[in-house]
Amino acid sequence: RHLYFPCVRAGFTKSQAAFACFLFSAVFHEVLVSIPFHMVRVYAFAGMLGQMPLVFITKRLEKSFGQTYWWPVVGNVVFWVTFCVVGQPMSVLMYYYDIVSVAKETAGEVGTSVAKELPNLISEAAAAAINATKAAMHHTEL
C-alpha cells in the first residue's frame, strides 16, 4: 500500500505498479541478507522477483478453474509450497554453501583453519539479520 497505490496514482498500470513493488522488495531483501553475510549474492533478489510469475500463474489458474469454494485452499497450497517449503530452505542452503566456500578459500589463502570461526561467523550474521528484521518491523509499525 505504501508503494503500489502511489505508483497507480502516478499513472503506472497495475502490472507496472506490481513490478515496482516486487523490485523494491527484492532489492531490500538482498540488502538485508548481503550486509550481515558480508557478501553480495542475488539469491534473495531472485527469490523475490521469482514470486512475481506466481501471481500471474495463480490468477490464470483462477480464471481457468473459476472461483469455487476450494480455490482459496489451492492458492494457499501454491504459496506455501513455493515460498516456505522450496524457496526459503533453498535460499538458506545456497547462502550457507557460499559462506562455507568463502571460509575454505580464506583458510587456504591464509593457511589457518577457519572452521573454528565459522560458527561464530554464522551466529553473528544470523544475529545481524534478526536485528535488521526487528528494526524494519519497528519502522513499519510507526
Phi, psi dihedrals of residue 129, rounded to the nearest 5°: -65, -40
- Among 29, 38, 138, 139, the one annotated catalytic: 29
Is residue 29 annotated as a catalytic residue, yes or no? yes
DSSP string, 49-111: HTTHHHHHHHHHHHHHH-S-TTHHHHHHHHHHIIIIIIIHHHHHHHHHHHHHHHHHHHHHHH-
Helix axes 52-65, 71-80, angle to 10 degrees: 160
Q: Which are the catalytic amino acids?
A: 29
